[in-house]
């Protein structure tokens, strides 16, 4: 019994890892094709501002040295070989290996994204719950209207608006960056970091909140109209009791699934939010890499975000199964035994 469970668990893990490998291969091929066909001239990027000073012979030498004239398939092979050895290349924009840039920048972004993600999840679920329970009433209308407004507001615009109100007008929050300007890194305390994190995180969460609100509201409305809520009410359950004992868990499953699968949008939003607030995270690095035509860094970020989004989706699956027993203990596989037993007991 235990060994079969373990075996099926291992098989499932292997299947998911294989899926990730295939996904990464597809992303690597697609990114490489885009890169080869892009108008970016690697030599002028490499040489930089001195490009006017070098002649055709020097160009040819550089091209030969870097293998720019080799067939694309050969270049892809070389790149993939390096990749498999953990060498993502060198970023000229940051003058650092790509792996290091991503690691450092991601840690900075992580705080921002985690706070925004938690805020949007908690606020979105709470508001969706309120709206769904008070369906059709003023509160529901206000929340729904607000969610639709946010859903159609671009991140950078919301960011600029908040920046204007809270940093320029009220002066409560700093104008830029992750730490105070002109302060030695050792002297920056946690409070400073949180102070600088606040506005970008709120911006990022405001944009992510709308889908959570709307999906949660829908799930709550469905639960409130269900037969099992009618039966609970017939048992004398009050509205707050209904929400606590019946609606909460039913609405949590879809909300959690959505929240974990939104890591892609979260990263996309962080590109814009970090740009507006000059927050030195991975999102801002993506913009810089794109503007500076830093191809190795862009390729590295593409692969990294693939893994990031994939992990989010996998976690979403796990949490969803944990909350919803119909996923965790499906009738057709593990449940079949249970159901067969149920039928046998019935007959007996």
Instruction: Kindly list the residues in this chain that would bind another protein in the complex (CB under 8 A).
Output: 226-228, 230-237, 241, 245-246, 249-250, 253, 323-326, 329, 331, 335, 338-339, 342-343, 345-346
CB 270 within 8 A of CB 282: yes
CA distance 330 to 114: 32
Distances (CA, A) of 310 to 152, 199, 305, 317: 26, 28, 8, 11
Q: Is 87 helix (H, G, I), strand (E, B) or coil?
A: coil
Query: Which C-beta is closer to another protein: that of 266 or that of 323?
Result: 323
Shortest spacing between CB 195 and another protein, in angstroms: 41
187 or 345: CB nearest another protein: 345
Shortest CB 126 distance to another protein, Å: 19
Q: Which two tokens stand for residue 2?
A: 């235990």
Residue among 103 and 343 whose Cβ is closer to another protein:
343
CB 289 within 8 A of CB 89: no
Q: Which residues make Cβ contacts (< 8 Å) with residue 125, sequence separation at least 6?
A: 212, 216, 251, 252, 255
Query: Minimum CB separation from another protein for residue 326, in Å?
Result: 5
C-beta closer to another protein: residue 16 or 135: 135
Cβ of residue 252: shortest distance to another protein, in angstroms?
9
Pick between residue 173 and residue 250 the one whose CB is nearest to another protein. Answer: 250
Strands (E) in the chain, as ranges, are 90-91, 96-97
Vertex 219 angle, CA 213 and 222, to 5°: 135
Q: Minimum CB separation from another protein for residue 331, in Å? A: 6
């Amino acid at each position: 019994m235990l060994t079969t469970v373990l075996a099926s668990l291992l098989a499932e893990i292997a299947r998911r890892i294989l899926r990730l490998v295939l996904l990464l291969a597809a992303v690597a091929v697609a990114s490489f094709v885009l890169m080869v066909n892009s108008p970016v001239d690697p030599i002028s990027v490499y040489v930089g501002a001195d490009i006017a000073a070098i002649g055709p012979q020097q160009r040819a030498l550089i091209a030969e040295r870097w293998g720019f004239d080799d067939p694309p398939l050969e270049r892809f092979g070389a790149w993939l070989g390096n990749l498999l050895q953990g060498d993502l290349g060198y970023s000229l924009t940051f003058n650092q290996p790509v792996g290091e840039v991503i690691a450092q920048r991601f840690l900075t972004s992580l705080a921002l994204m985690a706070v925004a993600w938690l805020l949007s999840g908690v606020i979105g679920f709470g508001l969706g719950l309120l709206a769904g329970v008070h369906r059709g009433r003023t509160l529901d209308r206000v929340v729904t209207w607000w969610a639709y407004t946010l859903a159609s507001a671009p991140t950078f615009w919301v960011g600029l608006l908040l920046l204007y109100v809270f940093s320029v007008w009220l002066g409560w929050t700093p104008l830029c960056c992750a730490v105070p300007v002109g302060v030695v890194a050792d002297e920056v305390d946690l409070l400073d970091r949180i102070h600088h994190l606040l506005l970008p995180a709120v911006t990022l969460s405001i944009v992510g909140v709308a889908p959570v609100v709307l999906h949660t509201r829908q799930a709550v409305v469905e639960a409130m109209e269900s037969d099992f809520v009618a039966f609970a009410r017939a048992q004398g359950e009050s509205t707050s009791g209904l929400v606590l004992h019946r609606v909460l868990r039913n609405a949590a499953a879809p909300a959690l699934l959505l929240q974990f699968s939104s890591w892609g949008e979260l990263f996309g939003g962080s590109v814009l939010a970090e740009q507006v607030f000059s927050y030195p995270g991975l999102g801002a690095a993506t913009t810089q890499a794109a503007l500076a035509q830093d191809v190795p860094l862009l390729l590295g970020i593409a692969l990294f975000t693939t893994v990031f989004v994939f992990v989010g989706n996998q976690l979403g699956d796990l949490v969803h199964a944990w909350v919803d027993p119909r996923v965790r203990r499906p009738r057709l596989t593990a449940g079949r035994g249970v159901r067969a037993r149920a039928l046998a007991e019935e007959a007996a």
